[in-house]
Amino acid sequence: MNVGKYLIENNSAPEKVFLVHGKENFTFGQVSAEARKVGAYLHKCGLVKGDRVLILDDSSFFWVSSYLGTLIAGGVTVPLPSNIEPEKFEKILFSCSPKRAFVGRRYWERYRDKLEGIPVVVNGGDTECEVFNDLPKTDHPSETCFQEIDPFSDLAALMYTSGSTGEPRGVMVTHQNIMANTQSIIQYLSLTSKDRIMAVLPFYYCFGTSLLHTHLKVGGSVVIENSFLYPEKILNQMQEAKCTGLAGVPSTYQILLKNSTFRKREFPELRYFQQAGGKLPDNFIEEIIHTFPRKELFVMYGQTEATARLSFLPPEFLNNKLGSIGKGIPGVRLEVLDPQGNSVEPGQVGEIVATGENIAAGYWNAPEETARSFRNGKLYTGDLATVDEKGFIFVVDREKEFIKCAGHRVSSKEIEGILVRMEGIIEAAVLPMPDEQLGEAICAFVSHVCGEAATDDVKKYCTRNIKWPITPRKIVCLKSLPKNSSGKVDKVRLKKILKGDVS
């Protein structure tokens, strides 16, 4: 089945509000009609199955309509971060050769010289491009022709991810990948048409896209907020919109808990929290549990290479399995394997390997990288973990983020977890730095409510709580840590700061 059809057909409440964006509301009927209009437009323009279509904008009605319309037409969506660096933008354009592009007005002005030669639809404004609102309407939207595809082999999206290297890689996501992951997430979160999610994560990020997919499929609602600069504004929106769910990466909850009135508020309609995109330190998980004892917290684990989600820890296990990512979601099998491919014994460290219909087809135009990570229908995640006697998985760190200090392999996550227990520290990121004696010493970047003024206090805390030789050699206190387009701490940029390449 075409995933566009899977997501928008057979909705029984076309007048119900699906998207809430600022003061604007958009119903399921409006989203469906605009998506079909975009699909018909692309078909008339000669788009054929497999052609790539670029989407560049913040989360919006325009973004959703362009995305769904491209899927309907059989095109391959290429959603890009709205703050993408020009150099990466050029690399991606060269890599995927898009046939068309849907671009927000403000981003058209910023990237227009890079898009020369590509037909562009712009979301409003006086440009030489076609304007989104002026696209011809379909006479009979209910008869829209959904491009027939093979859901297991035809691509629905290229989701570009930079990983730890900073170089963009296009993950090839099929129609079946999205449908399988969507159904699985709906099942374990028990989502219904009554659910309304607060979406602070952008739709171009696979976690954000999964919020769109799941709530569209069940007939729920999505409240969009594209900026996390003002946490109080978001908390007000959650209360006013009567959101039933909040989804965030670790920094989302760390900022809310340490730099807002989050803990002092009540959210009568809220029933659950979703957390993924990296490990949220245990002390923050405990704080959420104790602050909101009647709300459910779903700690989850995933990768872009798995469409979005791989595992979750049921809320009832949070107390006695604290720190675990749980087990595979419905339809996904997770194993922790040693280098020889054997399952590790409890307590031993191995690599997380995943199997399921949500596992992507590989990396676009990157056969060597695909061969390393995708083998025999399995995804080799690069994440190292242990497993306990009951089968619960505990991530140790990414293979590439271990630091070799004085002959020891040190987990950056372990040290970051110790740092964020200090009063005043919101976030922490640990990186290696060259050292003649130790091989690699440790540099700790922390965001502290007092900024640089807290450096001496952090040094004293590290001396008391982290033993030599893994005591951070260098401490850099900032008001906030740089984030990538997904809202995660940007370690690529921190590495440049450490080298003195950027300030």
Q: Is the dihedral of CA 57, 59, 60, 64 positive or negative?
A: positive
Question: Is the distance from CB of 444 to CB of 476 less than 8 angstroms?
Answer: yes
Distance from chain centroid for Cα 33: 27
The size of the chain, in residues, is 503
Residue 166: band (very low, low, confident or very high) from pLDDT cuts 50, 70, 90: low
The pLDDT value recorded for residue 234 is 95
Pairing of strands 311-313, 332-337: unpaired
Residue 161: band (very low, low, confident or very high) from pLDDT cuts 50, 70, 90: confident
Q: Which residues contact 375 (CB under 8 A, 6 or more apart)?
A: none
Residue 497: band (very low, low, confident or very high) from pLDDT cuts 50, 70, 90: confident
Answer yes or no: is pLDDT of 408 > 90.
no
Work out the angle at residue 33's Cα, subtended by the Cα atoms of residues 132 and 150, and round it to the nearest 5 degrees.
100
Q: Is the dihedral of CA 340, 342, 348, 352 positive or negative?
A: positive
Lowest mean pLDDT among 59-73, 290-304, 386-400: 386-400
**Cross-strand pairs, 27:** 17
Q: How is residue 3 written in tokens? A: 């995933």
More confident residue, 83 or 338: 338
Domains of the chain are 27-149 (3.40.50.980), 186-398 (3.40.50.12780), 406-499 (3.30.300.30)
Q: What is the spatial distance between Cα 341 and Cα 63, in angstroms, rounded to a whole number?
A: 42
Q: What is the spatial distance between Cα 214 and Cα 208, in angstroms, rounded to a whole number?
A: 10
Average of per-residue pLDDT across 430-442:
80
Work out the angle at residue 489's Cα, subtended by the Cα atoms of residues 485 and 494, and round it to the nearest 5 degrees.
105
Answer yes or no: is pLDDT of 143 > 60.
no
**Cross-strand pairs, 428:** 446
**Cross-strand pairs, 431:** 443
Average of per-residue pLDDT across 193-221:
96
Average of per-residue pLDDT across 372-386:
93
Pairing of strands 425-435, 100-104: unpaired
Q: What is the mean pLDDT of the chain?
A: 90
Q: What is the spatial distance between Cα 160 and Cα 463, in angstroms, rounded to a whole number?
A: 40
Strands of 76-80's sheet, edge to edge?
Answer: 130-131, 120-123, 100-104, 52-56, 76-80, 155-161, 169-174
